[in-house]
Amino acid sequence: MSDREQIIKTEYSDVMQKSYIDYAMSVIVARALPDVRDGLKPVQRRTLYDMYELGIRYDRPYRKCARIVGDTMGKYHPHGDSSIYDALVVMAQEFKKGEALVDGHGNFGSIEGDGAAAMRYTEARLMKITQDVYLSDMDKNVVEFVPNFDETEKEPEVLPVRIPNLLVNGADGIAVGMATSIPPHNLAEVADGVKAYMKNNDITVAELMKYIKGPDFPTGGIVVNKDDLQSIYEKGMGKIRLRGKVEVEKGKGGRQLLVITEIPYTMIGANIGKFLNDVAQLVETKKTTDIADISNQSSKEGIRIVLELKKGTDVDNLINMLYKKTRLEDTFGVNMLAVANKKPETLSLKQVIEHHVDFQFEMTTRKYQNLLNKEQEKKEIQEGLIAACDVIDLIIEILRGSQNQQQVKDCLTMGVTNGIRFKKKASEKAASRLHFTKRQAEAILEMRLYKLIGLEIETLMKEHEQTLRNIARYEDILNNYDSMSAVIIKELDRIKKEYGRPRRTQVINAGEAVFEEKKVEEAEVGVLMDRFGYIKTVDKGIWERNQETIREEYQYSFCCSNMDKLCIFTEQGRMHTVKVLDLPSGRLRDKGMPIDNYGNYSIAKEKLLYLGALGELKSQKLVFMTRKGMLKQVDGSEFDVAKRTIAATKLAPDDEVVFVQPADTMDYVVLQSREGYFLRFLKEEIPEKKKTAIGVRGIRLAEGDEVAHGYLIESRMDYTITYHEKDVVLNKLKLGKRDTKGTKIRVS
């Protein structure tokens, strides 16, 4: 080991802890959470700044999104193109943002969850509001610039946003161990709230809410827990209850139409399709019989989901049912978490505005200090030019008598006359008294002769007067809180006037949606399931009249009450239950629906051994047989449970159920092994056990043998099966005892 090498021994858990904390903070601060000052995540900020740098302004042609994404990734955000493009798409979707920041050209997705086209097809440019409110004054040193990831470029630490974007556009993001979810608000209301805070720093959240009524979602809708909003805004977290807007219209034939014109913000995307499915499910399961048809007539003009109602429908009751049973009423979880002072913090409404106003004062100070410096430079030059006009003959004499530019500069700034030829001694004496500044001297040397025209000198004097007025104004703004406040408020008023829009979301107090569920009359129905697992119910009359067809086409067929449950027993020893009311009803020729759609059962994962109605099973005993030859009888009442899925029997390791069936009318049990051993004995020899028991041994199996089939038979009927092309009459098998080897059926 050389002298320079040194091994540092560290506890592994300490290294892991530090590494994970570093990673978590990186995700929190540098990726997932917005900054409270501009309300943007790093990927959004970098994308907008890159578009600004590329000159893709609102009044210029669109540019390919692939160009924007590639440039952003190469210069500022080396985290993959999909994250950048996804951020770009969301900023262009008006239905997701209070104010869209990107003007998209092409397919940028839809409110119904359709994805945007690939970035090579779409184009984009900045919106006017983005350029005017989010990116203006970038040239006035209003924000800090920091090195990019490889220190080859500079990027803004934060954008100079003039409005509280965290409130106007909201935010959502999942970090490590924390998440943010901030609803969008109305720009005009937020501007009024900021002005109210600036006029009174001691304003309370309740007083702020006189201006900011509540969230204003781009999809509209109705906030129905107005009284909870104050607590949410004070704590920075809580739940907002949202409802869609429903209108009643007249349809054809005197029927009423229920038209959903606005949806909850949480429904955008795939949840619109889920809502339609939920309504269809309510109809299929007969939770409501008032809906004749449902159609989604939404377009670019807006949401329009139409429910055609049957005559005599209680509209209010149906609307309340939709609120209660579907996503037409939903909750929006608020967690106003943002990066403030470089650390994540849950903020109240007032704190967000406080941070915003502090940021505005900081930006305004930097802006007017920058402008003041420029005006002072301009004043210095103007004063030099004005003074130069008064001694222009002397300056021309100095120029003509000098050998180089440095001599002229030294003479103008310090009165050095060495080496300069003067026509008169008086001129040399006057030249020695000159004391222009370096900046003034350079301006004099660069001045063109036409500036000596009388009108030009007059214009210069007017410019100087304007410069002095500007300096006085800028100094007043920088040194006077009220003056700076007036500048910020004036800018807010301009933004509000140009970009403000009416509120879209209604904020009210409304109670819980209460509806009276129509009671379904109890009736007998026929349950039919084919071998592919498609199940349905039919009227009892249809079931009785078509027994021959049903026997040919359906694997399971029986009658039961529509209030009953179906019990599905599987090879894995589980029992799944499904309510008969949940099953689709129809005609005999209707296909039905896969049984997988109901409950927890999947026909692809578990082999079905027996399907029956709980009402019948409760009064019977079920016989269970397993592959390893274990037997038991279980009282059917044990399967009357509330859970959708239970263990119907206990199984030994590597064992499976091969047979389940009610046994009350049966006399004998027959077990058939894979090696051809058959054992018939009386059913009474099987003991009754609980469903949690394994049972007793039914047949002695040779090593490697297992039970292949089981049968329950009556004594007065012959049961014939085919075993290796040989007919075996089960009733005529030798009567044996449980737990014996049985009889071997020999085949030629």
Integer-rounded Cα radius of gyration of the chain: 42
Q: What span, in angstroms and rounded, lies between the C-alpha atoms of 139 and 55?
A: 14
The set of residues, in sequence order, having a beta carbon less than 8 Å from that of 186 and lying 6+ positions away, is: 98, 168, 212, 213, 216, 500, 501, 503, 504
99-102 LR contacts (CB < 8 Å, sep 24+): 99/127, 99/129, 99/168, 99/169, 99/187, 99/499, 100/127, 101/44, 101/48, 101/126, 101/127, 101/129, 101/130, 101/134, 101/169, 102/48, 102/51, 102/126, 102/127, 102/130
Catalytic residue among 23, 58, 121, 481: 121
Which residue is associated with the tokens 């040397």? 445
Phi-psi region of 617 (alpha: psi -120 to 50; beta: other; left: phi over 0): alpha
Sign of CA dihedral 33, 37, 40, 43: negative
373 is written with which tokens? Answer: 């410096």
Q: What span, in angstroms and rounded, lies between the C-alpha atoms of 402 and 419?
A: 7
Q: What span, in angstroms and rounded, lies between the C-alpha atoms of 300 and 93?
A: 12
Is residue 493 classed as helix, strand or coil in its secondary structure?
helix
The set of residues, in sequence order, having a beta carbon less than 8 Å from that of 258 and lying 6+ positions away, is: 246, 247, 248, 306, 307, 309, 315, 318, 319
Report whether 347 contacts 355 (CB < 8 A). yes
111 is written with which tokens? Answer: 């409110």
The set of residues, in sequence order, having a beta carbon less than 8 Å from that of 201 and lying 6+ positions away, is: none
712 is written with which tokens? Answer: 């329950």
Report whether 291 contacts 284 (CB < 8 A). no
Q: Is 62 a catalytic residue?
A: no
184 is written with which tokens? Answer: 């969008």
Burial 365-396, CB ≥16 within 10 A → b, else e: ebbbbbbbeebeebbbbbbbbebbbebeebbe
CA neighbours closer than 13 Å in the CB half-sphere of residue 577: 19
In the chain the first and final C-alpha atoms are separated, in Å, by 83
Query: According to DSSP H, which parts of 480-598 are helical?
Result: 481-499, 540-545, 547-553
The amino acid at residue 675 is E
- Alpha-carbon dihedral angle through residues 695, 697, 701, 706, given to the nearest 10 degrees: -20
Q: What span, in angstroms and rounded, lies between the C-alpha atoms of 88 and 122?
A: 11
Report whether 123 contacts 63 (CB < 8 A). yes
Burial 198-225, CB ≥16 within 10 A → b, else e: beeeebebeebbebbbbbbbbbbbbbbb
Other beta carbons less than 10 A from residue 486's beta carbon? 13
Helix, strand and coil content of the chain, in percent to the nearest 5, comes to 40, 25, 40
Other beta carbons less than 10 A from residue 358's beta carbon? 12
Q: What span, in angstroms and rounded, lies between the C-alpha atoms of 306 and 111?
A: 17
Partner residues linked to 575 by β-bridges: 569, 646
Is residue 354 classed as helix, strand or coil in its secondary structure?
helix
Helix orientation angle between 438-446 and 349-390, rounded to the nearest 10 degrees: 60
The length of the chain is 748
Of 695, 604, 685, 703, which is closest to residue 658 (Cα–Cα)? 695
Catalytic residues: 121
